[in-house]
Amino acid sequence: MKCKVTNLRVTDHYATNQILLKQTKESPVGERMGESAEKKKLRNPETIGQLVAHFRDHELIDLGDEGKAYSTRNRCCSVLNKWVLPFWQAAKIDEVRTVEVEAWLRGLELARGTKAKIRKTLGLLFNHAIRWQFASRNPISGPVRGSGVRQSEKRERIPEVLSAPEFRKLRAALPVRERVLVCLALSMGLRRGELAGLRWEDADFEQLTLTIRRSVVDQVIGKLKTEASQRPLPMDVCIAELLQEWRSISKYSESQEYIFATESNRAGDQRGKQPVSLAKVMQCHIQRVARAVGITKNIGWHTLRHTFATSLHHNGEGIKVVQELLRHSSSRITMDIYAQAVTVDKRRAQSRVVADFLNDSSSTKLVGSGPASTLNTSG
């Protein structure tokens, strides 16, 4: 059975189950089928396939603020369907071993980041089993730190960023809507879902702030990734002017309407009522223009967020400022993922050390010439 994301709220889900159960009991076969349904409901999942079905029915539904975001639920389902179920579906829950999962992951010809997502999803699955008392241990995380499945999350390549000349070249070649989109994404570091979810009421042109209130993924309105994501962001005058220029020519400019509402006839009666598909905008418009102007980098919406973060770092902004502008829940995430020093910064930093220690003209001298030499720190 495939895992599918549903947007039923938990109350709707419970009510639906009760209706189906009532109909079963009142069917011609009578009480026997009702008892069978009750027994099935009480029976504990024994295999990974059965556990995935239970996880889907109780965790991968819309639980509001208490549950997982739509994008998280969608990603979990994708991982379970594509990687977990084909191999582990028939495995007994209590027979899954840490080293077996680790060896299986090692044998998958996938990027480290993808393997790390599979490991994380399996961990969530077993946490669900423990919560419902279907299992007493989590072989993915292990009983103590370091005893679980080992899988590196280290990037195999540095994320690409755009240089200022590249971005200017791209910006100049784009039509108004796409130009506003890339400028907004790069200057404020917005995630794709946040960009899609913007409405005109979110922009305060007097206070020059932009408040992110929602994320839209696959036309489903969801909650934001972190609490920090909801704080108002400063909006530069240049960005405010670009937005107002776009508003003056957009068909959808009312306060409650999406800033980047779809104008496609394929949207039917949802035309103007839902945001444009930013994945298609990137693929069919922005990437095509980028190639036309000679940009060979594989760019996406997250490239612009990385470019924003790297530029902040390059300009010497403090980690706290970078964290708040990127709206990360902790500075560790900022340091681990986005504090990507560009080559010129690294070269300059190294040259300063060389100037201090190796150039004769430097004011800092080495005392003596042997291995036991120490720095002269007097004065």
The per-residue pLDDT for 19 is: 41
Region of residue 370 (phi > 0: left; psi between -120 and 50: alpha; otherwise: beta) = beta
Q: Residue 250 above 90 pLDDT?
A: yes
In whole numbers, what is the pLDDT of the chain averaged over residues? 80
The per-residue b/e assignment along 348-378, b for 16 or more CB within 10 angstroms, e otherwise, is: eeeeeeeeeeeeeeeeeeeeeeeeeeeeeee
Which contacts of 111-118 are long-range, i.e. CB under 8 A and separated by 24 or more positions? 111/156, 112/151, 112/152, 112/153, 112/154, 112/155, 112/156, 113/153, 113/155, 113/156, 115/151, 116/151, 116/152, 116/153, 117/75, 117/79, 118/79, 118/83, 118/84
Class of domain 164-338: mainly alpha
Higher per-residue confidence, 105 vs 70: 105
Q: Which residues make Cβ contacts (< 8 Å) with residue 282, sequence separation at least 6?
A: 299, 300, 301
Q: How far apart are CA 223 and CA 196, in angstroms?
A: 13
Confidence band of 38 (pLDDT split at 50, 70, 90):
very low
Mean pLDDT of 134-162: 87
Q: Residue 79 above 80 pLDDT?
A: yes
| Segments of the chain assigned to CATH 1.10.150.130 | 10-131
Tokens of 247: 């508003």
Q: How far apart are CA 5 and CA 79, in angstroms?
A: 12
Q: Residue 47 above 90 pLDDT?
A: yes
Of 107-111, 222-226, 278-282, the range with the lowest mean pLDDT is 222-226
Helix (H) or strand (E) holding 108: none
Q: Residue 1 above 70 pLDDT?
A: no
- Which residues make beta-bridge pairs with 92? 47
Confidence band of 258 (pLDDT split at 50, 70, 90):
very high
Say if residues 55 and 135 touch (Cβ distance below 8 Å). no
The per-residue pLDDT for 12 is: 42
Reference 318, options 304, 347, 339, 333; nearest CA is 339
Q: How far apart are CA 277 and CA 230, in angstroms?
A: 22
| Segments of the chain assigned to CATH 1.10.443.10 | 164-338
Q: In one letter, which amino acid is 16? A: T
For residue 139, the Cα-to-chain-centroid distance in whole angstroms is: 25
Q: Which CATH number fits domain 10-131: 3.40.50.970, 1.20.1740.10, 1.10.150.130, 3.30.70.260?
A: 1.10.150.130
Higher per-residue confidence, 345 vs 363: 345
pLDDT in tens, 201-226: 999 999 999 999 988 888 877 777 66
pLDDT in tens, 311-354: 888 887 877 888 888 887 776 666 665 445 555 666 677 677 77
pLDDT in tens, 343-353: 566 667 767 77
The per-residue pLDDT for 375 is: 39
Q: How far apart are CA 179 and CA 250, in angstroms?
A: 14
Q: Residue 31 above 60 pLDDT?
A: no
Q: Residue 239 above 90 pLDDT?
A: yes
Higher per-residue confidence, 379 vs 285: 285
Tokens of 197: 């979810």
Q: In one letter, which amino acid is 298? A: N
